């Protein structure tokens, strides 16, 4: 049982997003993107109010992912990425994406905050940012 509801098509959609956003960051990087996606669905806060499923999260406009604007996202999901997506949907969390709602790839070092959200760490080229517990308590809830 996952921490969010997901159909098989939802799992594949998340897998495609994870690959498109972070394939160059390895499995760990893709898992971190998955954490952000699951957190956005669970959060119901800040920029992600009323996001109740993976499809809404992936295609949120504005606030969605750059990858959905580019052709690479539209490749078929591979079994390896599908397995990673299932792990995040089932509740596995990985630092620095544990509670993150945002990530981006800066040209230099990670800023300490991004849109008033605290930097939770960096993995390779991506910086991750998490809300405060008072802003988004659902992100911090245990499963």
Q: What is the pLDDT of residue 21?
A: 94
Encode burial over 36-75: b for 16+ CB neighbours within 10 A, e otherwise. bbbbbbbbebbebeebeebbebbebeeebbebbeeeebee
26 within a domain of the structure (yes/no): yes
What domain range includes position 61? 8-140
Segment 77-104 shows an average pLDDT of 97
Instruction: Report the number of distinct structural domains present in the chain.
Output: 1
Q: What is the pLDDT of residue 95?
A: 97
133 within a domain of the structure (yes/no): yes
43 within a domain of the structure (yes/no): yes
Segment 110-129 shows an average pLDDT of 96
Q: What is the pLDDT of residues 19-76, one digit of tens each?
A: 999 999 999 999 999 999 999 999 999 999 999 999 999 999 877 788 888 777 888 9
2 within a domain of the structure (yes/no): no
Which phi and psi angles does 128 have, rounded to 5°? -120, 145
DSSP at 98: S
Q: Hey, what are 111's tokens?
A: 């800023």
Q: Hey, what are 83's tokens?
A: 């397995």
136 within a domain of the structure (yes/no): yes
């Amino acid at each position: 049982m996952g921490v969010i509801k997901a159909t098989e098509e939802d799992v594949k959609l998340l897998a495609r997003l994870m690959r498109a956003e972070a394939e160059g960051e390895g499995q760990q990087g893709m898992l971190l993107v998955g954490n952000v996606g699951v957190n956005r669905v669970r959060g119901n806060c800040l920029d992600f109010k009323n996001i109740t499923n993976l499809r809404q999260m992936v295609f949120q406009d504005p606030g969605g992912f750059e990858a959905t604007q580019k052709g690479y996202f539209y490749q078929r999901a591979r079994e390896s990425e599908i397995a990673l997506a299932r792990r995040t949907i089932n509740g596995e969390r990985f630092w620095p994406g544990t509670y993150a709602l945002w990530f981006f790839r800066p040209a230099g070092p990670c800023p300490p905050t991004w849109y008033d959200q605290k930097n939770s760490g960096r993995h390779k080229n991506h910086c991750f940012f998490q809300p405060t517990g008072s802003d988004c308590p659902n992100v911090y809830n245990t499963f």
